[in-house]
Structure 1
């Protein structure tokens, strides 16, 4: 949530007869991002376990960060604000460890030992599978030269000079643009390289922004994919007195502003797969998307990594 009328924080605890419970939390993105909200929940857990004060003290003074919102990011956010929500299929999928390891091994061998992260590999898989699924189901309408964009929300605290304990919204938007034909026909390691190049730039290139702004919000916005990672913000380590959570997941409503995947959410019951909650395709593309994902898992045998 990020509208002015939305509550700052809402929390609900549902307790089951077995003794387990589910904690549901929603918060207004105007005051905090995922890292900040995790810090808040960590403090709630510490108080619930009897600690006298949180281990990380909250910081929110005006000088908590040394940089404001870069003009390039403001321009992208303004553009995204013109997009209206639409119905998407909710899919609970997994990307297997063997596929991730295969991509990482091949990428390292082809790039002089440089490594890639799990999220970069997963994002490459999701972007290509989704693009191929849409193209295969829309051959008469899909233009291989159409612009497609991958948007990666990124924690910007180290770039903005944020003080320890700063919990406000401190996100950058990293942007990867290409043609649909390029994404659909590229090797996965080449897509990983595109993602890493965008991350290395920190801020989007003006050329990428210009390409994104060519997208017509009411028609071609479906070519945009947001991929976000919850793997390294600490949600899996929260403890409210009953130990760490069995699963951390995002709640999606029926409508979403942009096609989106929340990737690499830790699951304690499967150490050989990374869970992904997806609202990135419409219902009539969901079967083709799942088939593309299944085909991708056949590309690599389990690797020693």
Structure 2
């Protein structure tokens, strides 16, 4: 069984010096249906506190993926982005606060996306293993020198950095504001940008749809569920204090398909219902995490939260094809410490499955209304582990700009907080798909 779970080593002490050569503001290549002073509505799912971030990702391309007779990489990316910003024009705006601190997209004097062109004297081979997310890649993803953490107001909503290396390879570091799109929406935007770069003409399939008014709150709002995923809870256990005192380090594990299949079989609930691989993995990770941290007291109630794509839940009316906004809800499971570490995996898996299935159209509408009434202002970590799943994102397929699929596509830092676990697709798309399990819990293994 040990071979079923492989720890992937993050190269230590890596320093990537870069030189910025050019900074370009990219505006739409043609007319857009928004003029100076116009604004666009953002839904409460777009404007929830957890979406007020930029999601940084990086894409590496080998030197043999680029032909010498092509235009420079930066020129190709700039031209294609300018073209795709016509149908995806909201990405050329800025965020500002409207009434009650709610955000909206505004079109004013500052407009456009940002592309930074840079180079490094290093070769891609000097970066070590390019299959493991590495916080040392941070210089490849642009941040303004005076940029504050979690700043989204008055910022370009797409920030890209293309860095060429001495070997001829290059990277694309990308930050897209989460308020504009969820993971699937970001993949739709990326696919359009990449297809436009490959073909030299604007390609949008499906046609992008804004329509954030679909998620307007009801009048009056009707909060029909307790929404414990948002509740502020004083952590009366040792969990949070242990994590923050332990100076946790980022760890990444490759979990084989054989292990996943075996775990899924052993985790099937006894009630006759079936569980998914995610249900079993989430239950196993949560249980193992709590055991490793030796959380006390045993009667303290912990939370597990994870995002659920609600697109297929919506039917009255259904979402239009091409909608790229946030359509995710947080599912939440609760369990006492003793139930987790002494109970059967089957029971924890059943609880995860039930929380996932509880995300219905009614739950989505209730979430929108809850945010309207309460408008949470901070992320809550008390007694909580959050698992986020990227395995269904077409990270590699969507990033072919004409140079083939990237060597690696994904985040650089998989533990922005030590209470987060990220499930990633395998970077080697030629092999049977597995999951990478990065867990910020120090040296403990699953």
- Tell me how far 1:237 sits from its aligned partner: 1.5
Structure 2 residue corresponding to 1:231, chosen from 388, 391, 395: 391
Aligned equivalents of 1:105 and 1:46: distance in 2?
40
Decide whether aligned partners of structure 1 residues 163 and 76 sit closer, same or farther in structure 2, where only a CA change above 3 A counts.
same
Residue 159 of structure 1: aligned partner: 313
- Tell me how far 1:64 sits from its aligned partner: 4.5
| 1:138-287 pair list within 5 angstroms | 142-160=296-314, 161-202=318-359, 203=363, 221=381, 223-238=383-398, 239-252=400-413, 255-256=416-417, 259-268=419-428, 271=432, 273-279=434-440, 281=441, 286-287=442-443
Aligned equivalents of 1:144 and 1:92: distance in 2?
28
Residue 123 of structure 1: aligned partner: 282
TM-score by length of 2: 0.52
- Higher-helix-fraction structure: 1
Structure 2 residue corresponding to 1:95, chosen from 238, 243, 255: 255
Q: Which moved more, 1:244-253 or 1:221-230?
A: 244-253
Aligned equivalents of 1:242 and 1:77: distance in 2?
43
5+ long unaligned stretches in structure 2:
1-52, 54-149, 234-239, 371-377
Q: 1:237-264 CA distances to partner (integer Å, 9 max, x unpaired)?
A: 12221222333322328753x6111113
Residue 213 of structure 1: aligned partner: none
5+ long unaligned stretches in structure 1:
210-216, 294-305
- Tell me how far 1:273 sits from its aligned partner: 3.9
Q: Which runs of 4+ in 1 moved over 6 A?
A: 66-70
The number of equivalent residue pairs is 265
Decide whether aligned partners of structure 1 residues 58 and 198 sit closer, same or farther in structure 2, where only a CA change above 3 A counts.
same
- Partners of 2:229 and 2:332 within 8 A in 1: no
Decide whether aligned partners of structure 1 residues 16 and 110 sit closer, same or farther in structure 2, where only a CA change above 3 A counts.
farther
Q: What CA RMSD, in Å, does the superposition of the two structures yield over aligned residues?
A: 3.6
Higher relative CO (Cα under 8 Å, sequence separation at least 6) belongs to 1
Q: Which moved more, 1:158-167 or 1:45-54?
A: 158-167
| 1:30-109 pair list within 5 angstroms | 30-50=179-199, 51-65=201-215, 71=223, 72=225, 76-77=229-230, 79=232, 88-108=248-268
- Tell me how far 1:172 sits from its aligned partner: 0.5
Decide whether aligned partners of structure 1 residues 253 and 104 sit closer, same or farther in structure 2, where only a CA change above 3 A counts.
closer
Aligned equivalents of 1:11 and 1:145: distance in 2?
47
Aligned equivalents of 1:176 and 1:109: distance in 2?
16
Residue 296 of structure 1: aligned partner: none
Residue 26 of structure 1: aligned partner: 175
- Partners of 1:122 and 1:263 within 8 A in 2: no
TM-score by length of 1: 0.73
Aligned equivalents of 1:195 and 1:13: distance in 2?
40
- Tell me how far 1:73 sits from its aligned partner: 8.3
Aligned equivalents of 1:9 and 1:78: distance in 2?
31
Aligned equivalents of 2:298 and 2:228: distance in 1?
26
